[in-house]
């Protein structure tokens, strides 16, 4: 949820830089969880998904913004959309740098007996999970289906009939996600979103933390 909150604040901060102060006026440019947590998306949804045994994810309340207040609406909407995933990449980089910098001292502490193995293992697990979660959040949000950020990226490149056709597809976005996340893997034993995340988030995770 920390990563998701930073993701949402990044959207609002870039919108502010582009002329739209809606998020600031709503009190959403803060890391205080109380301003961002969503009863369904932050609590109920991840619990239900865990009980179903499939992929588990959660989301914070989307930060509001008004495209009419953006100085260059077409360009700035794309920048606002990309700000969230970009913030997750930055968080993953920070987590990876911290873990790499701490790796040798942590191992040395275990060998010397200065720190219990369980404590060091706990620290490594938290940092590596932080990297992994942020990479998954980045690339999952780039899937081109609303309300995910990837839908705004796709719209930037569409005009005319193609744009109208995409708007028609948007109404089926959530059913498509549910089918791809749960039904296709169960019935066809093929996990398209899992493969996509392995190829993107998984590969980048390997580049950042490979060798540790």
Residues acting as catalytic residues: 8
Residue tagged 């990309």 (tokens): 82
Residue tagged 């899937």 (tokens): 143
How far apart CA 52 and CA 182 sit, in angstroms, is 9
Residues 6+ apart with CB under 8 A from 11: 23, 62, 63, 65, 80, 81, 83, 84
Q: Tell me the C-alpha to C-alpha distance, in Å, between residue 174 and each of 41, 42, 125, 170.
A: 14, 17, 32, 8
70 and 20 in contact (C-beta within 8 Å)? yes
């Amino acid at each position: 949820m920390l990563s998701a909150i930073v993701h949402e604040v990044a959207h609002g901060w870039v919108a502010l830089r582009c002329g739209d102060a809606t998020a600031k006026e709503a009190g959403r440019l803060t890391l205080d969880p109380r301003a961002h947590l969503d009863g369904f998306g932050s609590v109920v949804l991840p619990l239900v998904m865990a009980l179903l045994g499939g992929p588990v994810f959660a989301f914070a309340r989307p930060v509001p913004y008004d495209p009419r207040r953006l100085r260059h609406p077409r360009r700035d909407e794309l920048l606002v959309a990309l700000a969230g995933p970009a913030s997750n990449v930055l968080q993953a980089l920070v987590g990876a740098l911290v873990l790499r910098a701490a790796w040798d001292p942590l191992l040395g502490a275990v060998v010397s007996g200065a720190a219990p193995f369980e404590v060091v293992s706990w620290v490594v697990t938290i940092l590596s999970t932080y990297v992994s979660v942020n990479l998954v959040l980045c690339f999952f949000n780039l899937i081109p289906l609303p309300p995910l950020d990837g839908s705004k990226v796709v719209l930037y490149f569409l005009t005319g009939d193609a744009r109208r056709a995409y708007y028609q597809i948007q109404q089926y976005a959530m059913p498509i996600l549910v089918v791809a996340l749960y039904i296709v893997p169960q019935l066809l034993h093929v996990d398209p979103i899992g493969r996509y995340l392995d190829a993107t988030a998984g590969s980048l995770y390997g580049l950042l933390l490979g060798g540790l």
